[in-house]
């Protein structure tokens, strides 16, 4: 056990003690998704522990990865197994229980107080925000995915074959605006996956009405299936900006659908510059391997926040370094916590537990090497765990 000898004259603390205090904080996972409700075979399970859309390379298994190892380490004991149980043993134990029980056991162990649940990704097969909150014994809040909202509206209009193109345009624009105004009542923010659909190097200007009308006509005419039109995506972002919403942005690392070199958050610098005084806030999600760049943006722009969710899960034993790197330029009041868990309750538990451990390790080092008083370390931990999100999303409790 390491005893602190910091210059600030605190009584001796130990790293484990700091860890316990941090573990006691009511973590607010500001960006996550529901969990799958049906049982899963090994292939299904493996496909949910990678961002790849391909099966594992022949001769390998998705369990031989940081996330796989952390599931065996942290989740196996929750199902009554030894830490680092073999994958088959783990999956067998998992299958022997009702899915709802597995979901509940693991979600409870994640020890989260609040969830910001994004509902735009395959909502039919996963739990709703309410169900998820219930499983986790946490308050849940909804986050609306902009692209899905636009697709839903366009598909309905396409199905209705309603009138001429001018009317379609007005309808689409009006319905988007209406839906977002309404969303303010029941959701805490919106999310954009512009990174996936068009890249973050999009024109920072608000689209003109003429551009927009042309784009809408084409989008509805082709059925509104998959929104990849940069004009409409910019329109959605500017609608959210005008309403002063909290806007989550997918940034950096994600699945093989993404062109990662077009997901550097710096590409949005000009948009951030133009929106400082609008009331809108931008929450940059994941950010790896551009988390240092995100920290810079969070420093210079008062309405930019970020997290390293997702990366924590997938970097496993290395998550502590990634978390430490996220504590460089950004003001401590601008750093958020999320798991970006999707589908598996394991991803909540692993994401939350690794974050707590990595944050503890970083803050303990700042205490021993840089003389941070333990109270200050705990104050920073509390900001990141919960206070920043509560303030940034304007949640009244």
- Residue 375 burial (CB < 10 Å; 0-12/13-18/19+)? exposed
Residue 302 Cβ vs a second copy, minimum distance, rounded to whole Å:
4
CB nearer to a second copy: give 100 or 259. 259
Residue 233 Cβ vs a second copy, minimum distance, rounded to whole Å:
20
**Tokens 């960006």 correspond to what residue?**
31
Q: What is the DSSP letter of 384?
A: I
Which are the contacts of 209, defined by CB distance < 8 A and separation ≥ 6? none
Nearest to 336 by CA among 290, 283, 376, 375: 283
Give the count of alpha carbons within 13 A of 233, CB side only.
21
Between β-strands 187-192 and 139-145, what pairing exists: parallel, antiparallel or unpaired?
parallel
CB nearer to a second copy: give 158 or 371. 371
**Angstrom distance (rounded) from CA 282 to CA 275:** 10
Residue 374 Cβ vs a second copy, minimum distance, rounded to whole Å:
11
**Angstrom distance (rounded) from CA 322 to CA 328:** 11
Residue 394 Cβ vs a second copy, minimum distance, rounded to whole Å:
10
Residue 77 Cβ vs a second copy, minimum distance, rounded to whole Å:
9
Q: Are 34 and 129 in contact (CB under 8 A)?
A: yes
**Tokens 């839906």 correspond to what residue?**
179
Structure tokens of 254?
A: 């994600």
CB nearer to a second copy: give 41 or 57. 57
Residue 183 Cβ vs a second copy, minimum distance, rounded to whole Å:
23
**Angstrom distance (rounded) from CA 172 to CA 330:** 39
Structure tokens of 273?
A: 């510059």
CB nearer to a second copy: give 104 or 250. 250
CB nearer to a second copy: give 43 or 170. 43
Residue 341 Cβ vs a second copy, minimum distance, rounded to whole Å:
17
CB nearer to a second copy: give 235 or 288. 288
Structure tokens of 238?
A: 């500017």
Residue 108 Cβ vs a second copy, minimum distance, rounded to whole Å:
20
Residue 182 Cβ vs a second copy, minimum distance, rounded to whole Å:
27
Instruction: Please give the sequence-ordered ranges of beta strands (E in DSSP) within 35-138, or none if there are none.
Output: 112-118
**Residue 287 backbone class (left: φ over 0; alpha: ψ -120 to 50; beta: rest):** left
The Cα-based distances of 347 to 68, 72, 102, 254 in angstroms read: 10, 12, 12, 15
Beta bridge partners of 114: 28, 139
CB nearer to a second copy: give 220 or 297. 297
CB nearer to a second copy: give 70 or 140. 70
**Tokens 């401590």 correspond to what residue?**
332
CB nearer to a second copy: give 161 or 261. 261
């Amino acid at each position: 056990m390491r005893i602190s000898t910091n210059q600030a004259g605190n009584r001796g603390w130990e790293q484990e003690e700091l860890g316990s205090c941090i573990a006691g904080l009511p973590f607010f996972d500001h960006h996550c998704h529901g969990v799958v409700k049906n049982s899963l075979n090994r292939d299904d399970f493996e496909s949910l522990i990678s961002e790849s859309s391909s099966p594992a390379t022949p001769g390998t298994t998705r369990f031989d990865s940081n996330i796989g190892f952390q599931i065996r380490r942290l989740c196996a004991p929750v199902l009554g197994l030894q830490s680092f149980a073999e994958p088959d043993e783990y999956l067998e134990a998992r299958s022997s229980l009702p899915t709802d029980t597995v979901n509940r056991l693991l979600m409870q162990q994640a020890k989260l107080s609040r969830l910001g649940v994004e509902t735009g990704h395959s909502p039919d097969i996963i739990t709703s925000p309410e169900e998820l909150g219930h499983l986790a014994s946490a308050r849940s809040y909804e986050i609306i995915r902009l692209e899905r909202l636009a697709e839903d509206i366009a598909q309905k209009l396409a199905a209705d074959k309603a009138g001429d193109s001018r009317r379609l345009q007005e309808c689409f624009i009006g319905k988007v605006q209406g839906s977002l105004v309404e969303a303010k009542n029941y959701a805490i923010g919106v999310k954009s996956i512009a990174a996936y659909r068009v890249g973050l190097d999009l024109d920072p200007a608000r689209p003109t009405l003429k551009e927009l009308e042309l784009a809408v006509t084409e989008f509805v005419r082709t059925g509104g299936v998959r929104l990849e039109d940069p004009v409409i995506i910019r329109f959605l972002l500017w609608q959210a900006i005008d309403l002063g919403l909290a806007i989550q942005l997918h940034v950096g690392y994600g699945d093989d659908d993404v062109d990662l070199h077009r997901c550097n958050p710096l590409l949005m610098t000009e948009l951030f510059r133009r929106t400082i005084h609008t009331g809108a806030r931008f929450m940059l999600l994941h950010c790896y391997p551009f988390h240092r760049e995100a920290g810079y943006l969070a420093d210079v722009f008062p309405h930019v926040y970020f997290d390293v969710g997702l990366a924590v899960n997938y970097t496993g034993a290395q998550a502590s370094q990634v978390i430490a790197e996220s504590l460089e330029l950004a003001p401590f009041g601008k750093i958020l916590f999320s798991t970006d868990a999707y589908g598996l309750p394991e991803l909540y538990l692993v994401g939350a537990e690794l974050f707590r451990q990595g944050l503890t390790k970083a803050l303990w080092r700042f205490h021993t090497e840089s003389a941070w008083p333990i109270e200050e370390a705990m104050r920073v931990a509390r900001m990141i765990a919960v206070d920043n999100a509560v303030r940034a999303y304007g949640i009244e409790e």
